[in-house]
Structure formats: structure tokens, C-alpha cells
Amino acid sequence: MRIQTSGSRIRQTDSPLPGGESARVRGCRPAFTLIELIIVITIIAILAALTTGAVMRYYSVQQQTNTEVTIRKVYEHLKDQWDTVVRQADKVESISPQAMAIAGGLGFEKQARVIHIKLRLKQEFPMDFTEIISPYPNDLPPLQVYKDALAKMSSAGSIPWYQPSPTYQVSPLENATCLYLALQRSRGGSSLNFDDLGSNAVATDNSGYQKWIVDGWRTPLIYFRWATKNTELDGLNPTAPGTPQFTYRDPQDPTGALFDRNWWIPNHNYPAWTSFETQCHPLLQIRLTTPPDPTWPYVPTTGIGFPYNSGPFANQPPPVPPVPYFVWAYEYYTIPVVASAGPNKNFGIAFPGLNNPAPGVFFSFPNPMVSDNSGDDNDNIYSYRLRLGARGD
């Protein structure tokens, strides 16, 4: 081996023969400095962070979009089937004995008809397993198809077998499962093809018996049958002030049968909920004054007999003596609502105990639909908010 020089550079060659075999040349090149390496790594990290952030933002937007699309589709189908049940219960079916018993018997047929519609909606669209397994005595019998479905889930270990108790709390998954079961049915020629919701909109457990609809964040979609404590929703009543239906907000009671003084006052002039309110939803609000209109049904000061947590203006401390309060008749704008917990996957809604006559338990999940003051409900997505332009639905 020999050393050759060329100017200021030194080359080392493995071939000493001119014109002989190809020589392997290795030049002496300066290496990266530590500062240069740090700069390169920093640039790569910044580019990676920018790319990851853009991907995550895109993914988040896509989850939101998918959720809104799913809610719209689910709500439209739910509302179609809901309206079918209402029409049949109002125009075709006979009034059930259960509805007549809650209404008070002969002479209250108008009220019984409205109550029958409510009971049929409750029968067709249960919100929790208790309404299927252990309904109230004056509820309509649960549909056999729902009982069979729960029996299969239970035998497969999908759901725990339980007995209703005052401390029982229903989960969003339970409610979402009921929504899936309800939408499986075909009513009035309307049926939902779950494939139309997308490949990731339906989740299932390992047994394959329990299924539920999920949002873009894979959180169960829940639904409210009668969301009576939501001020925003109640304010969407599409009729004009001064018209009868503005007062009779309830679409299932357009003539105000449940607002009638001759029925409402006798059913509220005692310190307890009516059978209707225990089984369906409130028909009252608590106010500190008498109504400005003397024809408005109300009950004079009663002390603390009536439950205080009624109506959208009731998130106040319970009225106690010596503060007087009055029980006003009130009908709510009751349309079904489909809801997602949003990106944080927490509903932030007060879910009380359900469907049992224990003291202090008045609502079936999740009728109230009010915040639990945690702030987690701020990012919830509701069907009625997506349809603000479709008044009167």
C-alpha cells in the first residue's frame, strides 16, 4: 500500500499499480457536530408534532361528524316509529284497562286516551331493563320479544340478573341496549337497517346477544322518552304564545286533557305524586305565587307535601315552611331525544334511581335530563340541537 497526496488532501489506495485494479478510495470527511444533530432532531420532532396534531384534529372532527350523522339517522327512524305508535294508540286501539285505572274510570275517557298513548310508548320504547323485567302493575305488559332478548342476554352472562331496589342506578349501556331492541322492530312498514349507520355504529359483547348503538367515540348512545326537566328543549315548543298548543305543549295531548281543571286538581290535591306521574312524567311545576291567569289549574299552598324537583325551574332548594309555594299544572314539550356524551365520554346528567316506588324516587331513567353540575354535559350532542331548524318535530 502507498500514500498519495493531491494538494492538501491525502488519499489511501489499496492498489499500488498504475492502471491496475480499481482502487478503493476513502476520503476523510468531517462528522456532524453535536449542535447540528440537536438541530436536526428538533426539526424532526417539530414536524412529527405538527403532523400528529393535524391527524388528531382530523380524527376528532371525523368522530364528531360521524356522531352527528348517526344521531340524525337514529332520531329520524325513532321518530317515525314513535309517530306510528302514537297514531295507532290514538285512532285504532281501544283504551286499555290500565289507562282507565290511572285516569280514574268513567267520565275521564279523554284523559284515559292520552294516558293509553303514553303507556303504549312506554311499552314499545322501554328505557331500562326494569321496565321489561319488573314493570309497574298499571303498566302495559312488556313485549314478549323484549323479554326473550333479555333472557338470552342473561343466560349468556351478558347482563347481571337483578331485582329493582331504591339504590339501583341504570347505566347508559342498559339504556342504549333498549334503544337497539326498540329500533329492531318494524312498525308501520318502517324498519331500520343498522348497516346504514356505518360499520362502527353498533357494538356487541362477546356473546353476541347484547348489542347497542355507539357514537364516534364508541360511547353508547342513550335516549330520553320524555325529557321533562330540560328548559332548552321545553322552549322549543313550536307553537305561538296565546294559542292552546302553546299551553298544551305535549304533542301526545294536543287538546290539553291532562291540563283540565276537573281532572288535574283532584289528582294533585294531596301530598303525593299521581299514578300517571310515577309511571310516566311530571305534570306540574312548583311556583312561589298563584298563576296570573285564574283559570290556570293550581293547588294552593301545601307546605312540603309535594315533591319539589319538578319542572325546568325546579333546580332550587326544596320549599320548606314558612316559605309558601303553589303547585301549578304544566304540560311539557315531550319529544324523544337521542344523546351522545361527546368527546369526554361523560354525560354529566343527573341519573336518579328508576321505576320503583321508593321514597324520593320519581323518575324513570333518564327522563329528567338535567345537569349534575359537573360540567361534563357541556360537550353532549343532542338530537334536538341538531334539528333546531325542524320546528314542530
Which region among 279-283, 352-356, 381-385 has the lowest average model confidence (pLDDT)?
352-356
Give the three-state DSSP class for 382.
strand
- Dist. CA 284–CA 265, nearest whole Å: 11
- Dist. CA 12–CA 18, nearest whole Å: 14
Residue 119 near residue 146, CB atoms below 8 Å: no
Q: Would you report the helix, strand and coil content of the chain in percent, each value rounded to 5?
A: 35, 10, 50
Strands of the sheet containing 298-299, edge to edge, are 284-287, 326-329, 298-299
Residue 1 carries which side chain, given as an amino acid letter? M
Q: What are phi and psi of 4, to 5 degrees?
A: -115, 145
Radius of gyration of the chain (CA): 32
Instruction: Measure CA 297 to chain center.
Output: 32
Which region among 169-178, 306-315, 322-331 has the lowest average model confidence (pLDDT)?
306-315
Query: What's the confidence (pLDDT) of residue 230?
Result: 79
Instruction: Give the pLDDT confidence of 213-229 residue by residue, as tens digits.
Output: 999 999 999 999 998 87
Give the three-state DSSP class for 36.
helix
- Dist. CA 361–CA 373, nearest whole Å: 19
**Cα–Cα distances in angstroms (integers) from residue 59 to residues 18, 30, 55, 63, in the given order:** 65, 44, 6, 6
Residue 263 near residue 108, CB atoms below 8 Å: yes
pLDDT of 145 over the 60 cut: yes
The residues that bridge with 5 in the sheet, in sequence order, are 10
Give the three-state DSSP class for 376.
helix
- Using alpha carbons, select from 328, 339, 341, 246 the residue that is nearest to residue 295: 328
pLDDT of 359 over the 70 cut: no
- Dist. CA 56–CA 59, nearest whole Å: 5
What is the percentage of the chain residues whose pLDDT exceeds 70?
73
- Using alpha carbons, select from 142, 136, 131, 98 the residue that is nearest to residue 117: 98
CA angle, 206 as apex, 201 and 211 as ends, to 5°? 35
Instruction: Measure CA 76 to chain center.
Output: 15
DSSP string, 311-363: STT--SPPP-TTS--EEEE-B-----EEEE-TTTT---B-----SS--TT---
Instruction: Give the pLDDT confidence of 9-59 residue by residue, as tens digits.
Output: 444 444 454 554 444 445 555 666 888 788 888 888 888 877 776 666 667
Helices (H) and strands (E) in the chain, counts: 11, 10
Contacts of 100 (CB under 8 A, 6+ apart): 108, 112
Which letter does DSSP use for residue 196 in this model?
A: G
Instruction: Give the pLDDT confidence of 158-202 residue by residue, as tens digits.
Output: 876 544 444 456 678 888 999 999 999 999 877 788 988 988 899
pLDDT tier for residue 84 given thresholds of 50, 70 and 90:
very high
Which letter does DSSP use for residue 278 in this model?
A: H
Q: What is the pTM of this model?
A: 0.79
Rounded mean pLDDT, 295-314? 60
- Dist. CA 308–CA 51, nearest whole Å: 54
